[in-house]
Structure 1
Amino acid sequence: MESDSVIYGLLGRIHLLLRRVTNRITDVEYMRVNKDYAREVLQLALATGHPELAELCARLRTAMELDEAPPELEVAGPGLLDRLRAARPKATHPTERYVGSLR
């Protein structure tokens, strides 16, 4: 794993380019500590087709060792964004409907 300064540099550049290209804001600090979130942000960045973003994503995957998923994550099911977008039909109370899902 690379040093924190290298990783934060890559995360900052990805954050800036995503903001410019797609007008999406990411949380750099949360990306640094949560590899699932970092993987989802990299998927969004790669979906843009921007060549510099693709290069930065490849470098970040290597720097943070994102391709080497622990065994428990491989069978965990849907990704973070899929889980957040999923409806919760059994929740009827308004406060229960929005816990753990996007509004």
Structure 2
Amino acid sequence: MTEEHHSRAELETHAFALMGRLHVNLRRQSGRVIDIEYMRIDPAYCRYLLKMASLSTSEEVQELGQKLQEVFFGEEGLFVRTEPRQPLLARLQEPAPSAPAAITPTATPAATDNADPVDRGYIGRLR
């Protein structure tokens, strides 16, 4: 693994731990449930949650929000370094690739030798 991959993996691990803590704190304090996976891939949702954390009355939630802000949007942040993954809902709006043409199965040669215990017509088909 290269240094860049190694540091990115560490950053993602750190972000996941912070998002988990943010999730637990928001759930305990306000009953708010957040989607950690969606936060990881969608910058707009991530910004929304970080803004919500900054407006929280809890110092711990504010601190977690600041740390996540640095991890995602800092100079070497996850959303700054590379293009973020496209959210699933956006992918659904794109036309699906056309399915390949159905391949017709070729007929297997009939068993010519009666001594052969394997039925050649059965090979390649489901029961």
Taking the aligned partners of 2:54 and 2:25, their CA distance within structure 1 comes to 12
Superposition RMSD in Å? 2.3
Contact 1:31 1:37 in 2 (8 A): yes
Q: Looking at both structures, which has the greater relative contact order when contacts are Cα pairs under 8 Å and sequence separation is at least 6?
A: 1
Q: Which of 9, 16, 28 lines up with 2:24 in the alignment?
A: 16
| Larger CA Rg, structure 1 vs 2 | 2
Kept in 1, the 8 Å contact 2:22–2:64? The answer is: yes
Q: Distance in 1 between matches of 2:39 and 2:74?
A: 11
Q: TM-score, normalised by structure 2?
A: 0.49
**Is 1:55 aligned with 2:63?**
yes
SS in 2 for 1:26: coil
Between the aligned residues of both structures, percent identity stands at 31
Extract unaligned runs of 5+ from structure 2.
1-7, 81-127
More helix by share: 1
Moved more, 16-25 or 60-69: 60-69
SS of match in other structure, 2:53: helix
- TM (normalized to structure 1)? 0.60
